[in-house]
Structure 1
């Protein structure tokens, strides 16, 4: 597991503004992200194309989120989110990868989970909404590539706890229940970077929220000899409530 230097973390914490919500609020949602994976995984000097060589495709996925906002000055609001991506595929290696020689048929599985704790402040809270804060992300990803009809197997693993900048904006269309918005997390340091953002349209009625949009996550991260340089992107839908 690799962590950010203390100096970087401190500089991120220094930017947080001082603001608070007008009333106590709570919300939660569950969603589905129809994501496609592209890019490369590396072990040492060996690389494999996760799309063309492994033919990974979405198998199982869950997205959960919840937030709590309060009127207490100086204390940040809290947002929790969880993403699990499970992709499987069968393909043929175009080059050698780790213990696997070029040209062999392989079966692969990507198990990706991330849990976010976000502390944020409301900077604007009317028909234009703007939140700013910091996210602590626990990222755990494992790519297993095994030769078909053989015990030869390669494992690429990334395990990291990352502080990230967080921003969310929403524009409400008065008296319609309709809104459009975007939110994202980002961090970059020492050659590693993660960009995770989405844009959406939302309809809300009697506390129920229906949302549809597009999300993209770009990860370029090295953990020891293992590296993931991948894009995960696609449309999403979610349903939730707030009060």
Structure 2
């Protein structure tokens, strides 16, 4: 992982800005994500389907982001983003899972939390906007399953480097644009990706967005493994200065 981190840092340096911001810019977004959940969580050799067995099939969540852009050559721009997914449900196991027997009625609590720090450069800044950089994602996941007098706690925690890309295409004189934002990494059997596509309308300092986001985590931490996918539509509102 250290070698991969070095490679990604080097790549970010190589895309040092062909077009950096002409003035200081500041923006913030707050959004509502109507997400659905699927996949498996494994612990101590057993696994459970979070949707079909635990009924953790989806719930709304908030997503936040903040960015700062500047005209200083070589120094990257900064973006911070946060999302927290917290769900509770009741279901029934269709097999043994980490000491809880087959057929048990269970209560499950799942929390997935991530905080991103992204350093990026503006490579293009006209009607086509392109940003490239590197994200450090502080990811944590916890699943607590309780039933039949037993309980199981599955956890994963890591700070993961990810490649970052954001592209936006502005329609002239309309305030309307379409875009895509993505983070991704795959290394040594683990993989994470997080993409969203959106349409945007901007009026003065106000930005309104609607789109679709997909996040997938396949990460192993010791005997615990999260292999889940969260996706669904989102809306957001923000301000830019």
Q: TM-score range by the shorter chain?
A: over 0.9
Once the 2 structures are TM-superposed, how far is the Cα of residue 58 of structure 1 from its aligned partner? Answer: 3.8
Could you say what secondary structure the match of 2:101 adopts? coil
Tell me how large the CA RMSD over aligned residues is.
0.9
Does residue 1:234 correspond to 2:232, yes or no? yes
Q: 1:182 aligns with which of 177, 180, 183?
A: 180
Summarize the alignment of residues 1-243 of structure 1 with structure 2, pairs less than 5 Å apart. 5-16=1-12, 17-19=15-17, 20-59=20-59, 61-147=61-147, 150-243=148-241
Could you say what secondary structure the match of 2:11 adopts? coil
Once structures 1 and 2 are overlaid, which stretch shifts more, 112-121 or 52-61?
52-61
Paired residues of 1:25 and 1:70 also in contact (CA < 8 A) = yes
Number of residue pairs matched by the alignment:
237
TM value normalised by structure 2 = 0.96
CA 1:87–1:45 in structure 2 vs 1: closer, same or farther (change >3 Å)? same
User: 1:9-67 CA deviation, whole Å, 9 max, x = no partner?
Assistant: 10111112111211110000100111111000000210100000000144552211000
Rounded to whole Å, the distance in 2 between the matches of 1:58 and 1:109 is: 12
Once the 2 structures are TM-superposed, how far is the Cα of residue 206 of structure 1 from its aligned partner? Answer: 1.1
Rounded to whole Å, the distance in 2 between the matches of 1:60 and 1:208 is: 23
Consecutive aligned runs of 4 or more in structure 1 exceeding 3 Å deviation: 57-60
Paired residues of 1:86 and 1:110 also in contact (CA < 8 A) = yes
Unpaired runs of 5+ in structure 2?
none
Paired residues of 1:60 and 1:87 also in contact (CA < 8 A) = no
Unpaired runs of 5+ in structure 1?
none
TM value normalised by structure 1 = 0.95
Could you say what secondary structure the match of 1:15 adopts? helix
